[in-house]
Amino acid sequence: MTDISLLEKARTLTEALPYMRRHAGKSFVIKYGGHAMVDQALAEDFARDVVLMKQVGMNPIVVHGGGPQIGKMLERLKIESSFIDGLRVTDKATIEVVEMVLSGSINKSIVGSINKIGGQAVGLSGKDNNLVIAEPLKRTRKDPDSHIEQILDLGFVGYPKKVNTDFLRSFEKTDIIPVIAPIGLGENGETYNINADTMAGAIASALKAERLLLLTDVVGVLDKNKDLITEMNEKIAMALIKDGTVIGGMIPKIETCIHAIQNDVSAAVIMDGRVEHALLLELFTEHGVGTLIKK
């Protein structure tokens, strides 16, 4: 290693130090999914980033998705899936597979990656110690002929109603990193499948976290010229949805971010999980990566 490269490393640490001090003791809820989760090199980078966050005094909480893996398992078991507004209709057979994949193989794989490089992760779902109490998610659609609102049956698709913040805060003074599968518990013991973005947003809101970080497969929020918007407030974010600049799957992500900052989360970031060490670049450099949304 040359003297120049060593000097560059020293400068990088010097630049990061003020951010480490600023973020110490605060909670950061990270939604982890997409390409970052299935690419082995990026998965290892993610594990190192999360462990470093914990080691410098931050409180990372990981909420992961797993839609593609669920789809593959349902195909193998010859269980048909249907979707309404991007949400998987979840019957009794499907919810059993969803829970098996999310709380089982995916969750334990992430925990194993973090532990392998020296962290202390523990795998959870919303059912553990009543972490997330859920209720059925309600969706309506207007009939094109009668114009009557119809209630859509999504089965065991849930929405977070209550988060056990005391349980999550119990990890703050330990070395343990919670890794949470987006499964919720109904008031009558039902199991609910919850969108991972929604789950992460609800947990961040309940904790009044410093940041909600949504790792995606896009660079962030784009303007009409397809250029990255690096920072905006909630009013601009809502206007982009209203005028059609933001479309498709980005709409619920922005709505999740807006809901979080309206519930005292300091800021939310939609960021590109395909970038190496995206978390460190976002948290410990001046410009970060992706789009930051704040009040």
Q: What is the C-alpha R_g of the chain?
A: 19
Kindly indicate the confidence band of residue 145, based on its pLDDT and cuts at 50, 70 and 90.
low
**Percent of the chain at pLDDT above 90?**
65
Residue in the block written with tokens 């659609």: 141
Q: What is the pLDDT of residue 155?
A: 84
Cα dihedral 50→54→58→59 (10° resolution): 80
3-state secondary structure of 180: strand
Q: What is the pLDDT of residue 167?
A: 97
User: CA angle at residue 211 from 14 to 163, to 5 degrees?
Assistant: 140
55, 59, 187, 202 from 25: Cα distances, Å: 11, 6, 33, 20
Fold category of 24-211+242-294 in CATH: Carbamate kinase (3.40.1160)
Domain parsing of the chain, residue ranges: 24-211+242-294
Q: What is the pLDDT of residue 1?
A: 58
Q: What is the pLDDT of residue 85?
A: 66
Q: pLDDT, tens digit, for every residue of 255-281?
A: 999 999 999 999 999 999 999 999 999
d(CA 237, CA 228): 13
d(CA 35, CA 247): 21
Q: What is the pLDDT of residue 196?
A: 94
Q: What is the pLDDT of residue 141?
A: 63
Q: pLDDT, tens digit, for every residue of 156-203?
A: 999 999 999 999 999 999 999 999 999 999 999 999 999 999 999 999
DSSP code, position 129: G
Per DSSP (E only), the strands in 113-237 are 120-125, 132-136, 139-142, 149-152, 158-163, 176-181, 183-186, 191-193, 211-216, 231-233
Task: Determine the residue type at 223.
Answer: D
> Is a pLDDT exceeding 80 seen at residue 146?
no
Q: What is the pLDDT of residue 185?
A: 96
Q: What is the pLDDT of residue 38?
A: 84
Q: What is the pLDDT of residue 144?
A: 59
Strand order in the sheet with 158-163: 158-163, 132-136, 183-186, 191-193
More confident residue, 193 or 3: 193
Helix and strand counts by DSSP (H, E) for the chain: 11, 16
Q: pLDDT, tens digit, for every residue of 109-138?
A: 999 999 999 999 999 999 999 999 999 988
Kindly indicate the confidence band of residue 2, based on its pLDDT and cuts at 50, 70 and 90.
low
Q: Please list, in sequence order, all residues whose beta carbon lies within 8 angstroms of the beta carbon of residue 236, skipping any fewer than 6 positions away.
A: none
Reported as type and span, the H/E element at residue 95 is helix 92-99
Q: What is the pLDDT of residue 36?
A: 82
Q: What is the mean pLDDT of residues 214-229?
A: 91
> Hey, which residues does 142 pair with through a beta bridge?
149
